[in-house]
């Protein structure tokens, strides 16, 4: 168990990079059961291909910069706050991607609230 913890701690920058890239991609487009949605509108197959390829290329090119940003975040933001951010962003991404899930259900709002409290707690306690 300690080995897994140490490995994850060493890879925190890569993990945070992956989360940020995933968050950015979910803001660009969503795959829905009825089609491809980008910027709030369903898109045609041709538009979907162009948007998906453009997002893939752009996010691929930006990944090294996002990796550097992740390193800077880790220097200044406590790990506990990052864990809170991971729960918050995961909740956000899943609610964006799954059409039947809502951002305003009691369980979802509770996850958002606890995530925010954990982020704040990390800054207060600084660990």
DSSP-assigned states of every residue in 59-81: HHHHHHHHHHHHHHHHHHS-HHH
On the question of pLDDT at 100 being above 70, the answer is: yes
pTM, whole model, 2 decimals? 0.74
Tokens found for residue 74: 């880790």
* Rounded Cα distance, 111 and 116, in Å: 9
Residue 32 bridge partners (DSSP): 35
- Where do runs of H (alpha helix) occur along the chain? 2-10, 12-28, 45-76, 79-97, 106-125
Provide the pLDDT for residue 22. Answer: 87
Q: Which residues fall within 8 angstroms of residue 89, CB to CB, at 6 or more apart? A: 19, 22, 23
**What digits encode the pLDDT tens for the residues 52-92?**
999 999 999 999 999 999 999 988 998 889 889 889 988 98
Note the pLDDT of residue 114: 97
């Amino acid at each position: 168990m300690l080995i897994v913890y140490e490995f994850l701690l060493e890879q925190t920058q890569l993990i945070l990079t992956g989360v940020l890239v995933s968050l950015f991609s979910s803001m660009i487009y969503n795959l829905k059961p009825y089609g491809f949605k980008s910027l709030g509108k369903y898109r045609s197959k041709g538009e979907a291909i162009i948007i998906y390829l453009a997002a893939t290329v752009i996010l691929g090119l930006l990944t090294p910069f996002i990796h550097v940003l992740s390193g800077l975040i880790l220097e200044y933001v406590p790990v506990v706050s990052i864990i809170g951010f991971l729960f918050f962003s995961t909740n956000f991404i899943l609610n964006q991607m799954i059409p039947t899930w809502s951002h305003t259900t009691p369980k979802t709002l509770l996850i958002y609230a606890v995530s925010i409290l954990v982020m704040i707690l990390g800054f207060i306690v600084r660990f």
